[in-house]
Structure 1
Amino acid sequence: MADELVSTTLVVRLANCILRPYRASDLEPLCAAANDPAIARYMRDAFPSPYTQEAGLQWLRICHVEGLPPVTPASSPPDVNFAICLLDGTFVGGAGLRALGTDGTDRYTREIGYWVDRRFWGRGLATEVAAGLGRWALSSAGRRLTSDGQPLQRIEAGVYAGNLASAKVLERAGYVREGVRRQAVVKNGVMHDVIIYGLIASDLDKDAHE
């Protein structure tokens, strides 16, 4: 599968962290970091809370970790999932790019997602990941994420309106606030607006000339 190839071979090196494929050895630090209500608060319901070892194993299987049986094709994974690690190898979170739609109309767009262990908040890691992964995906490297080898044109993110920290991350990373989907999602029984941010290829051209 192309998804498996992408998920197990790519490494994105940034100034203060590395995005690499998940490994079986990530299970313990993954579960320890993700089992925090502050992390799950603004995540999709697919992000378990509490985050058990079984949930962690299932995620590693989705990510095609070597030595673990993959999930069935019915569990469609994002195009690529990365563990976020410090330069010394410490696991500090996760990031990914997810395909949108099923008919191919959105084939040159990916949705970015990321989370960072609360112990490492305030270091600018989320901003670095959002900026670095978005720019990597819109570069020539991102061509391997499309079935026809054409470059991606857009990376987008949806942020619950109450998640001001993530909104600031995306703005600092160069994403443009494009609008609000009013009362679009329910989380823990509460309806939330979702703020839409986008980064497109021409934004990078503009940044290069400023």
Structure 2
Amino acid sequence: MADSTISDTVFPTTPIVQLERCVLRPYHISDLEPMCKAANDPLIVKYMRDAFPYPYDTDAGMTWLKICKAEGLPVEEKADEAKPAAPDSSPPAPSPEMNVAICLLDGTFIGSTGLRAMGPDGTDRYTREIGYWIGRDHWGKGLATEVASGLGRWALSPASGILTKDGQPLRRIEAGVYAENAASSKVLERAGYVREGVRRQAVIKNGVMQDVVIYGLVASDLEK
């Protein structure tokens, strides 16, 4: 269980999910340097999608922080948000994406995780894909398992407040792992995700065609 006595004052943004040894919180401009240092690692990019840049320099980091609408960005980075919005009486649509920093309880930035909407036509609207990476200095400590388990369970619980556009809660969290990435498969299995199948020769990474192993966590799994 998470330590409910931890103070939010050690974090530059308010934690969204508090776990036993780490928290998940919105990005802040102060994450730029530690994020670039941790992410600029060939062993991390090896199993990420091609959209994950390498080398992971300051420009790459700033691009990501803009995508995440990080707090503390220079005013000019938020110029579009300063423009008055046109009147709109309709309720805002729930966000299909969540990108957050992973930090230790002392505030140390160690990685990133998030949820991504799947499929543009709405058929998969009750599903989100989870992604995560942890800086190499913090491998082998079970932190990735804690994050995958904690974020997945939180997202499927009423506490998350995540609703689809038709006002329904999420029913499924999914992850796809390159078949040769045995460490990530172990993370998901320890986190309670079920291995459901293999997409054979589904992706090309580093010039090599690879299978993708599919893992899922569904709402009914939490009742077991």
> Given the two structures, how large is their TM-score scaled by the length of structure 2?
0.83
Match of 1:115 in 2: 133
| Fraction of identical pairs, as percent | 72
For 1:119 and 1:41, how far apart are their aligned partners in 2? Answer: 16
- 1:62–1:145 CA distance, 2 compared to 1 (3 A): farther
Distance 1:80 1:90, change over 3 A: same
- What is the CA-CA distance between 1:52 and the residue it aligns to? 1.0
- Across the aligned residues of Structure 1 and Structure 2, the Cα RMSD in angstroms comes to 1.8
Question: Any gaps of 5 or more consecutive residues in structure 2?
Answer: 1-12, 81-94
Shift of 1:144: 2.5
Matches of 2:28 and 2:145 in 1, distance apart?
A: 24
What SS is found at the alignment partner of 2:110? Answer: strand
Runs of 5+ in structure 1 lacking a partner? 1-7
**In the alignment, structure 1 residue 153 sits paired with structure 2 residue 171:** yes
Matched, 1:64 2:69: yes
Partner of 1:45: 50
1:10/1:106 CA distance change after superposition, 3 Å: farther
- Aligned positions, number: 195
Residues 43-73 of structure 1 deviation map (CA, whole Å, 9 limit, x = unaligned): 000110110110000000000113432699x
CA distance in 1, matches of 2:15, 2:123: 25
Q: 1:18, 1:84 within 8 Å by CA — same for their partners in 2?
A: yes
Equivalent pair of 2:15/2:23 in contact (CA under 8 Å): no
CA distance in 2, matches of 1:87, 1:12: 12
Please give the alpha-carbon distance, in whole angstroms, between the structure 1 residues aligned to 2:78 and 2:116: 18
Q: Which residue number in structure 2 is paired with residue 166 of structure 1?
A: 184
Query: Which runs of at least 4 in structure 1 moved beyond 6 Å after TM superposition?
Result: none
Asked if 2 retains the 8 angstrom alpha-carbon contact of 1:19 and 1:83, the reply is: yes
| Pair 71,30 (structure 1): closer, same or farther in 2 beyond 3 Å | farther
Q: Report what 1:3 is aligned to.
A: none
1:97-116 alignment to 2 at 5 Å?
97-116=115-134
Residue 118 and residue 186 in structure 1: after superposition, are their counterparts in 2 closer, same or farther (change >3 A)? Answer: same
The SS at the match of 1:144 is: coil
User: What is the alpha-carbon distance in structure 2 between the residues aligned to residue 59 and residue 189 of structure 1?
Assistant: 25
| Contact 1:10/1:20, CA 8 A, preserved across alignment | yes
Shift of 1:105: 0.9
1:191 to 2:209 alignment: yes
| 1:115-168 deviation per Cα after TM superposition (whole angstroms, max 9, x unaligned) | 000000011000000000000000013343422331100000000000000000
1:30 pairs with 2:16: no
Task: Give 1:18's aligned residue.
Answer: 23
Partner of 2:199: 181
SS of match in other structure, 1:157:
strand
Instruction: Render the CA deviation track for 1:83-112: whole Å, top value 9, x for unaligned.
Output: 000000000000000000111111110000
For 1:195, give the aligned amino acid: V
